[in-house]
Amino acid sequence: MPSTYDKDIQSYNFEELTSLIESLGEKKFRAKQIYEWIHVKLVSSFDEMTNLSASFREKLKEDYILSLPEIVRFQESKEDGTRKYLFKLRDGNMVETVFMRYHHGNSVCISSQVGCAMGCKFCASTLDGLERSLTPSEMLGQIYQVIKHTGERVSNVVVMGMGEPLTNYDNLVRFIELFTDEHGQNISQRNLTVSTCGIVPNIIKLADLKLQITLAISLHATTNDKRKEIMPVANTYSLDKLMDACKYYFDTTGRRITFEYALIGGVNDTAEDAAALARLAGPLSAHINLIPVNPVVERGFTAPDISATMAFKNKLEKKRINVTIRREMGRDIDGACGQLRRRHIGG
């Protein structure tokens, strides 16, 4: 079966790689070796595959590409060890990736696109629009390069960096398949979180795959009108439709959804907002993750102070909603997602 990923051998699944290797006249076990070089030993060139013959390596080199994104810049927090990476892709485009240390293990937040078309008002990643979507290998490459650079294991991955992953649906699903494959990193689906601003048809499509990943919805407002003000996607998919899709996802997969709610001072942090948020989350047993918004100077948004944030949290807890406040990581290094790249390219 030919792969739709053409020369990009890192995006081939195990089955496709096996049929490719057999079609090149090599034994089946070579596929296992090559898959392991790519997805376990994390090599960035065919030359490193030392148990293959030189002639076979040359043949692969002529027809296929294999590389990892190049580290252009990285910053490490002195407070908590968080690292922010700016990676250069093969075509020169840049993406950001964040490595975070938690007591339950290391987590990597990856980008799924270069830029973003969705236009959320509180987000720096969308200020220059969408450049292009990432391939499965470019999503994996961010994690692989971080593992190599830190020399540490990664136990959790969140697809929550630059881009809307559900508008890059096929590549996202292939990425999940590769990252959780027993022949590769063999990470549990439960340790993967995908965050979407609410692309309703693809939430339903994803539900039907019955994966065990965590779906996080960037909710950020509790009425359709308010949501439209800060998230243009709400003009296409109403809050009602989004809630129906969330219910379908929960019922179909049995996985509790997370609502991401960026608290923006004076915009969505009132007592009525807390009550409405509890009404949305309650029937779904959804978990709420409150995010004190990162300041985006271009938009003039600021986070409410800590006492207002705690008061908002308490109101939800009184309604028996499961809620956490996202810990700010790497406060002493470059700010919000998308800003490292903008600063580098002079945005």
Q: How far is the CB of 266 from ligand SF4 (least distance, A)?
A: 20
Tell me: does residue 197 bind ligand SF4 (CB under 6 A). yes
Q: Tell me, yes or no, if 246 is annotated catalytic.
A: no
Q: How far is the CB of 125 from ligand SF4 (least distance, A)?
A: 4
Q: Judged by CB under 6 A, which stretch of 102-110, 115-123, 183-191, 264-272 contacts ligand SF4? A: 115-123
Bridge partners of residue 97, in order along the sequence? 85
Q: How far is the CB of 339 from ligand SF4 (least distance, A)?
A: 12
Q: Tell me, yes or no, if 123 is annotated catalytic.
A: no
194 Rama class: left (phi>0) / alpha (psi -120 to 50) / beta: beta
Secondary structure (H, E, C), 69-93: CEEEEEEECCCCCCEEEEEECCCCC
Check: CB of residue 262 under 8 Å from CB of residue 288: no
Q: How far is the CB of 121 from ligand SF4 (least distance, A)?
A: 9
Q: How far apart are CA 199 and CA 244, in angstroms?
A: 12
Paired sense of beta strands 94-102 and 105-110, if any: antiparallel
- Residues within window 218-247 making contact with ligand SF4, judged by CB under 6 A: 218
Check: CB of residue 38 under 8 Å from CB of residue 16: no
DSSP string for residues in 237-251: S-HHHHHHHHHHHHH
Question: Which of residues 13 and 135 has its CB atom nearest to ligand SF4 in the complex?
Answer: 135
Q: How far is the CB of 102 from ligand SF4 (least distance, A)?
A: 22
Residues 28-67: x where in contact with ligand SF4 by CB under 6 A, - otherwise, as a string: ----------------------------------------
Of 26, 96, 138, 260, which is the active-site residue? 96
Please, where are the H alpha helices in the chain? Answer: 14-23, 29-39, 54-63, 136-150, 169-180, 200-208, 224-230, 239-253, 271-281, 306-318, 339-344
Q: Is the dihedral of CA 57, 62, 67, 71 positive or negative?
A: positive
Q: How far is the CB of 126 from ligand SF4 (least distance, A)?
A: 4
Altogether, the residues listed in the chain come to a count of: 347
Token pair recorded at residue 70: 């190049």
Tell me: does residue 125 bind ligand SF4 (CB under 6 A). yes
Question: Which of residues 129 and 282 has its CB atom nearest to ligand SF4 in the complex?
Answer: 129
Question: Which of residues 42 and 230 has its CB atom nearest to ligand SF4 in the complex?
Answer: 230
Token pair recorded at residue 332: 């002493």
Q: How far is the CB of 293 from ligand SF4 (least distance, A)?
A: 11
Check: CB of residue 172 under 8 Å from CB of residue 166: yes
Of 120, 123, 246, 337, which is the active-site residue? 337
Question: Which of residues 21 and 233 has its CB atom nearest to ligand SF4 in the complex?
Answer: 233
Token pair recorded at residue 123: 């987000």
Size of residue set near ligand SF4 by CB under 6 A: 12
Backbone angles phi, psi at 325, to 5 degrees: -105, 125
Residues 147-166: x where in contact with ligand SF4 by CB under 6 A, - otherwise, as a string: ---------------xxx--
Q: Judged by CB under 6 A, which stretch of 114-122, 143-151, 244-252, 290-298 contacts ligand SF4? A: 114-122
Question: Which of residues 34 and 86 has its CB atom nearest to ligand SF4 in the complex?
Answer: 86
Positions touching ligand SF4 (CB under 6 A) are 116, 118-120, 123, 125-126, 162-164, 197, 218
Catalytic positions:
96, 337
